[in-house]
Amino acid sequence: MTRQPLLTGLRTLALALMAGALAPAFLPAAHAQAPQAPQAAVPLEVADLSAWLDGRVPYALKSGDIAGAVISVVKDGKVLLQKGYGYADVAAKKPMDPATTMVRPGSTSKLFTWTAVMQLVQQGKLDLDRDVNDYLDFKIEQPHGKPVTLRDLMNHRAGFEEGLKDLLAYDPQRAPTTERYLKDHPRPQLFTPGTVPGYSNYGVALAGYIVQRVSGEPFERYVERHLFQPLGMLHTSMEQPLPEKFRPFAAQGYRTASDKTPSPFELVVTAPAGSGSSTAADMARFMLAHLQQGRLDGFEMLDAATTARMHSPTQKDALPGYGVMAHGFFSAQQNGHWVIGHGGDTVVFHTELDLLPKEGVGIFFTFNSRGKDGAVYGARKELFDGFMDRYFPGPAVIDPPALPTAAADAQRIAGRYQTSRRVENGFLSALYLMNQTVITANPDGTINAPDGPLGGEAKFREVAPQRWRKLGSTQELALVDVDGVPTVIDSENPVSVLQQASVLRSAPLTLTVLGLSCVVLLGSLLAWPLGALLRRADRAASGASAEQRRLRRWQRIAAAVAVVYLGAWIVWIVPVLSTELGNYSTAMDGVVRTLQVGGLAAIAAMLAGLWAAWRLLRLDASRLAKLWAVLMALALVGVVWVAAIGQLLSWNLNY
């Protein structure tokens, strides 16, 4: 089963950058099956489930330095269990209460938006295959000559590139409305709509705005009046900040429990994509409505036909056995059971919601901390996998024999890849450029590929032409051609693919050029004062002519400009690595523009370095001086090349 939470991509990118190797930059949490012997299912009953959770969750909280968790499980039209663990407020030692503690489900809130869309589809007010421009008061451009539809938005196939600016805020006075965000931050289209998947919060926010436009009600009021109130979800809201009546119930969110300092309330600017606050009890009611053909306690959220349609795949081109989108739900097989669901992350809250429609079972849980070293991502995965393996186990996984073509085909898939969920038109492009997914071929014909967002590598064996299966698992990778670009599809990820990177966008090339350039430039700057001190100690002159000394001075000034330029960009980008996303807002456009203008200084420094090298080569200078001048010039060219290909020289403020 696959999920794509709100900020998992940024978290994975940050870990990858710090580790020095990029896993698929926005690969959702994988739920691959570990090797196992056939086992009988344990009956899903409250006593066993409660004891099982009590044996796992407290340990996960303590070992992961996570403050608390809430969980609810429904079965056969009833709430089977609701429990809280740990603290909603560490300092006050306020316990997590599944009935009243309001947590932030993050991208799981998207299911509210998609349910609202399907309500309006049911009423004939929306058409999933109509150009979204027909519903908007601004225009989504069509650079590829094809309109974006609501179906594209539901499938995350509108072609939009990722965006970070104004995505998250903490000050309500500085957070734009969804309408303002959509109009001021249009996302460039990397792909033709309906073709390449790329998870998009912008796209979901667009759908929520369409709900607002078509219904004539503010989005937050619509979901309150047509979902939360009639479903009896009395502690659920999409408003930000929370209304005063809800604030006493809000759980604090933490980086780690031991920090004890909670994060400020996170304002998700793409509100329909992740602004929700709810309780485990309320989410149980939402699950029950979806599991009971859209009905709960006499309220018809959706009619039976529309509910069945919403749970059915919206993608018709998926490979057999590969996960797909189902009108906003992720839909896949786990342990041989059909599961639909959606995960969600803010910076500090981390959530799962999964439904087994044929079994009438649903599970929801949220942790309110990232935990030590991002421990929550492993805890979340292990909790759901453990739940499935205990109560809905599958058959033993048997690795099939390799194909005779395995060794040759392994060479075909081996290479460097970039995720389809990326930034190409802003300065964040540099992060994606320098960190790419690597797939390697082994002598025995297997391949190694990154093993999900938790890091590490997994071994895959070719089991069908151009299809590789993870050993001891049912997860597969497939190599296909999309518009002439070798593309890797993950069976557990319907919302992004890996595209082979071009030579010019090769991470080793970029990092080598950047690294060597920095070594030369920093070496020159360090040698400047050191040489002067040595000459002073020896009371000796350098022996260089006045023009040579002047040219060297220009070289060092150019080196200083280039180093300061790179250093300033690094200081600006570093907060991304710790998901300090509130810094990146319209209010900081002046900083970005200053850095972009600094690119002109870097170009001037490059020209000065080239001129100095050209002059020194024509003077009676030493061979060493001439060689160093050439290296300095090349290093300055390298800085500008990296800045250009990484979009640091771009004038784009829409990143």
CATH code, domain with 571: 1.20.140
* Shared domain check, 515 and 490: no
Cα 419 to its chain centre, rounded Å, is: 10
37 belongs to a structural domain = no
> Are residues 198 and 331 located together in one domain of the fold?
yes
Separation of alpha carbons 475 and 458, rounded Å:
11
User: For the whole prediction, is pTM greater than 0.75?
Assistant: yes
Q: End of a domain among 368, 391, 414?
A: 391
What is the rounded CA–CA span in Å between residue 631 and residue 615?
14
- In whole angstroms, give the CA distance from residue 419 to residue 433: 10
Q: What is the DSSP string of 244-292?
A: GGGGGGBPPBBS-GGG--PBPPPEESSGGGT--BB-HHHHHHHHHHHHT
Which SS3 state, helix, strand or coil, does residue 332 take?
A: strand
Residue whose structure tokens are 């709430």: 79
Same domain, 222 and 302: yes
The per-residue pLDDT for 452 is 67
Q: What is Dmax (Cα atoms) for the chain? A: 96
**Measuring CA to CA, which residue among 221, 245, 225, 224 is closest to residue 236?**
224
In 3D space, the residue among 488, 493, 514 whose CA is nearest the CA of residue 435 turns out to be 514
* 128: amino acid identity, one letter: L
Give me the residue label for tokens 């060479």: 411
Residue 415 Ramachandran class (φ > 0 left, ψ -120 to 50 alpha, else beta): left
212 close to 222: Cβ distance less than 8 angstroms: yes
The CATH number assigned to the domain holding 76 equals 3.40.710.10
Shared domain for 495 and 519, answered yes or no, is: no
How far is residue 596's CA from residue 606's CA, in Å, rounded to a whole number? 16
CA angle 71, 76, 78 (to 5 degrees): 55
Q: Please report whether residue 254 resides in a domain.
A: yes
Residues 524 and 601 in one domain: yes
Task: Give the whole-angstrom CA distance, residue 228 versus residue 285.
Answer: 9
3-state secondary structure 128-163: CCCEHHHHCCCCCCCCCCCCCEHHHHHHCCCCECCC
Total domain count, the chain: 3
pLDDT of res. 18: 31
Low-confidence ranges of the chain (pLDDT < 70): 1-38, 452-455, 530-543
Q: Considering the domain boundaries, does residue 528 fall inside one?
A: yes
Cα–Cα distance, 272 to 240 (Å, whole number)? 11
User: Which residues sit opposite 476 in a β-bridge?
Assistant: 469
Range of the domain at 588: 507-645
CA neighbor of 327 nearest in space, from 347, 307, 345, 346: 307
Q: Among the three residues 360, 391, 422, which one is the final residue of a domain in this structure?
A: 391
Same domain? For 251 and 133 the reply is: yes
C-beta separation of 420 from 499 below 8 A: yes
d(CA 455, CA 439): 14
Dist CA 541 CA 363 (whole Å): 78
Other CB atoms within a 10 A radius of the CB of residue 605 amount to 25
246: which 2 tokens?
Answer: 């809800």
pLDDT for 343:
96
Calculate the alpha carbon distances from 309 to 115, 286, 290, 314 in Å: 11, 17, 12, 9
The confidence score (pLDDT) of residue 38 equals 56
For the sheet with 68-75, list strands across it. Answer: 94-95, 78-89, 68-75, 361-367, 350-356, 337-345, 329-334, 324-326
In sequence order, which residues have a C-beta less than 8 Å from that of residue 445 and are 6 or more positions away? 402, 406, 407, 409, 410, 461, 462
508 cis-preceded (ω within 30 degrees of 0): no
Same domain as 122, residue 256: yes
Query: Is the residue at 3 inside a domain?
Result: no
* Same domain (yes/no): 295, 413: no
Q: Quick count: other Cβ atoms within 10 Å of Cβ 208? A: 29
Residue 32 lies in a domain: no
What is the residue whose two structure tokens read 């974006």?
Answer: 148
Same domain, 226 and 198: yes
Same domain, 305 and 359: yes
Q: What is the pLDDT of residue 159?
A: 97
Q: For residue 549, is it within any domain?
A: yes
Domain finish residue from 479, 500, 521: 500
Determine, yes or no, domain membership for 396: no
The 8-class DSSP code of residue 100 comes to T
411 and 380 share a domain? Answer: no
447 with 374, same domain: the answer is: no
